[in-house]
Structure 1
Amino acid sequence: MEKYKKILTVIDPTTEDQKALERSIELATKTNATITAFLSIYDFSYEMTTMLSSDEREVMRNSVIKDKEVWLNEKIASVAQHDIKIDSKVIWHNRPFEPIIDQVLNEGYDIVIKGTHEHDKLKSVIFTPTDWHILRKCPCPVLLVKSHSWPKNGNILAAVNVGSDEDEHISLNNKIAEEALNLGNLIQANVHLVNSYPGTPVNIAIEIPEFNANEYNESMLNHHKAAMTTLAKKFNIALENTHIGEGLPEDIIQDKALSLDAELVVLGTIGRTGLSAALIGNTAEHVIDGLNCDVLALKPEGYQSPLQN
């Protein structure tokens, strides 16, 4: 089944450089997809102007929307390619992520593509609240775009969790590998698998003198190697393209993405609630922040967005 036939591209009104739109066109040329360039705008000052009646506020809102529609259509015209259909949609909403996810739920988009904000190392968090909400709550794949190009014969890194025997993780690993291979075929890139595993817990090594840390580490590594080999064979991925490292996922994934000069990292975000979601969410955030390439975030099969009725 061909994927990515219907792309929702989130436009950033604060920048001239629309990386997400350019990437969407690049993908659409390979999949014959249609694109909707989507802009959610809101100006608090208009809503708070008590001098105006509700009708007058409506007129002002519509005037701002019309201006943005003109701006957006000019943007599209400047980058559009004649064989790709690009629609535009501008919506007034005070929580930008909600209409984005509503569009996905109501219109059946296959992927959301959004640019991330450039940042320097002093500002460690690139996430806007909108990015965070979309990653957590969007049921379809989300591609966060940075400035890295997609050269032919480049590398895609699929970040999996082969240490877990939970059905949810196994199913998500399969989905991550499948999506990475699908994109690898589309953009003619090599697919690699990466997995991290935790080292010996320091407190155990200290509190239990007879605990053999080397033995523990070796058995962990062997367990992950065996599981990684099984996954690689299932998807016909060469064993030399599998990578296992001891440490935090964000460190291992970032190091491997840099050493491969990957153009894309594919990872899973599990939308649980509570502590588990916080841990998984933070890992995704740290991973994405440390990468200079695009990130494709996937949900498990059967995921239901909290915005679904």
Structure 2
Amino acid sequence: MEKYQKILTIFDPTTEDQKAFERSIELAKKTNATITAFLSIYDFSYEMTTMLSSEEREAMRASVIKDRELWIAEKIAAVDNEGLIIDSKVIWHNRPFEPIIEQVINEGYDIVIKGTHEHDKLKAVIFTPTDWHILRKCPCPVLLVKDHSWPKDGNILAAINVGSDEEEHISLNKIITEEALNLAKLIDANVHLVNSFPGTPVNIAIEIPEFNANEYNESMLNHHQTAMAAHAKEFNIDSNNTHVSEGLPEDVIQNKALSLDAELVILGTIGRTGLSAALIGNTAEHVIDGLNCDVLALKPEGYTSPLAM
């Protein structure tokens, strides 16, 4: 049975162009998946109108929901959806990410597909707080869709961390690689693996005069190349499709995605909550910000969303 059987597609009420829905249809035609077109809406002004009774407010909410349901129905009717099962759901909620994750937990969706915003002036992708919340807290894979097409014989770039002997990283490398191979079969693409490693810490080079930075970098490179070769061999991935470079993950992954013209980058996000989640520096988020192609974010095995607790 194909992996993606239940797709939750997030509709964007601010644009007519629903990239996530188009991508969902593309995927569903290959896997025979069912699609739920989902929209979480909220209008603060309705909640603040004290002149209205609670019944009147309820009626206004129902009217807005109905209007959006009709809008989604038009979008569904406008695409080639022959043979596909597509339903829709519109929910009134003031924190859009919560009902999305609740749907995944309660209904058992296999993947969430969501479009990202492009900022016209800078052509940079703007991620909303909703995007980051979903990336951090959604227990199933999240596909963030940009404008890059999925051509036949294109490239999928799987970003792994082969230098680490931590169990969580080893497990996540396996999940990411298997997902890349599975999708490559589905969409007829080639799998590439990329791994970055840090260069010599500047303070060490300064504090220890006899420290040989070149030797250190050489041994780090060898260590990561050896680990990468072993990982690629385990999954029968050609060594020509493996890439190890010194540098920050966000730079290395972005540069390799550009040079390969990758249609999709797959990476792991370690779900973080509380104070650490508020700190800038989550590698996955830095990486995603700089990419111009779709991104599939995966969680470690056994991850439980904080919303499920």
TM-score using structure 2 length: 0.97
- Partners of 1:293 and 1:250 lie apart in 2 by 14
Aligned residue pairs, count: 309
Q: Which amino acid aligns with 2:67?
A: D
- Partners of 2:148 and 2:247 lie apart in 1 by 26
- Is the contact between residue 270 and residue 277 of structure 1 (CA under 8 Å) also seen in structure 2? no
Residue 90 of structure 1: SS of its match in structure 2?
strand
1:299 corresponds to 2:304: no
- Partners of 2:292 and 2:242 lie apart in 1 by 21
- Is the contact between residue 152 and residue 188 of structure 1 (CA under 8 Å) also seen in structure 2? yes
**1:278 CA drift (Å):** 6.0
Superposition pairs for residues 127-166 of structure 1, below 5 Å? 127-166=127-166
Residue 300 of structure 2: SS of its match in structure 1?
coil
**1:282 CA drift (Å):** 3.0
1:16 aligns with 16
Deviations 1:99-148 (A, max 9, x none): 00000000000000000001257486621000000000000000000000
- Partners of 2:166 and 2:70 lie apart in 1 by 50
- Is the contact between residue 143 and residue 294 of structure 1 (CA under 8 Å) also seen in structure 2? yes
Superposition pairs for residues 2-41 of structure 1, below 5 Å? 2-41=2-41
Alignment gaps of 5+ in structure 1: none
**1:26 CA drift (Å):** 0.2
Going from structure 1 to structure 2, the CA distance change for 1:216 and 1:293 (only over 3 Å counts) comes to same
1:308 corresponds to 2:291: no
- Partners of 2:131 and 2:10 lie apart in 1 by 10
- Is the contact between residue 116 and residue 125 of structure 2 (CA under 8 Å) also seen in structure 1? no
Residue 307 of structure 1: SS of its match in structure 2?
helix
1:242 aligns with 242
Q: Which amino acid aligns with 2:305?
A: S
- Partners of 1:173 and 1:225 lie apart in 2 by 15
Deviations 1:24-80 (A, max 9, x none): 000000000000000000000000000011111001100010001001100111014
- Partners of 1:134 and 1:266 lie apart in 2 by 16
**1:81 CA drift (Å):** 1.5
TM-score using structure 1 length: 0.97
Q: Which amino acid aligns with 1:99?
A: P
- Partners of 2:75 and 2:155 lie apart in 1 by 30
- Partners of 2:276 and 2:121 lie apart in 1 by 27
- Is the contact between residue 269 and residue 281 of structure 1 (CA under 8 Å) also seen in structure 2? no
1:171 corresponds to 2:171: yes
1:232 corresponds to 2:225: no
Coordinate RMSD, CA, aligned: 1.5
Deviations 1:203-245 (A, max 9, x none): 1101100101011101100110111011101111000000011
1:67 aligns with 67
Residue 265 of structure 1: SS of its match in structure 2?
strand
Q: Which amino acid aligns with 2:25?
A: I
1:55 corresponds to 2:52: no
1:258 aligns with 258
1:118 aligns with 118
Going from structure 1 to structure 2, the CA distance change for 1:133 and 1:46 (only over 3 Å counts) comes to same
- Partners of 1:278 and 1:141 lie apart in 2 by 21
Going from structure 1 to structure 2, the CA distance change for 1:279 and 1:54 (only over 3 Å counts) comes to closer
Deviations 1:156-207 (A, max 9, x none): 0000011110000000000000000000000000000000000001111011
- Is the contact between residue 156 and residue 262 of structure 2 (CA under 8 Å) also seen in structure 1? yes
Residue 148 of structure 2: SS of its match in structure 1?
coil
**1:276 CA drift (Å):** 6.1
Residue 266 of structure 2: SS of its match in structure 1?
strand
Q: Which amino acid aligns with 1:144?
A: L
- Is the contact between residue 117 and residue 125 of structure 2 (CA under 8 Å) also seen in structure 1? no
- Partners of 2:173 and 2:277 lie apart in 1 by 17
* Sequence identity (%): 84
1:211 corresponds to 2:211: yes
Q: Which amino acid aligns with 2:58?
A: E
- Is the contact between residue 118 and residue 124 of structure 2 (CA under 8 Å) also seen in structure 1? no
Q: Which amino acid aligns with 2:287?
A: V
**1:274 CA drift (Å):** 6.2
1:223 aligns with 223
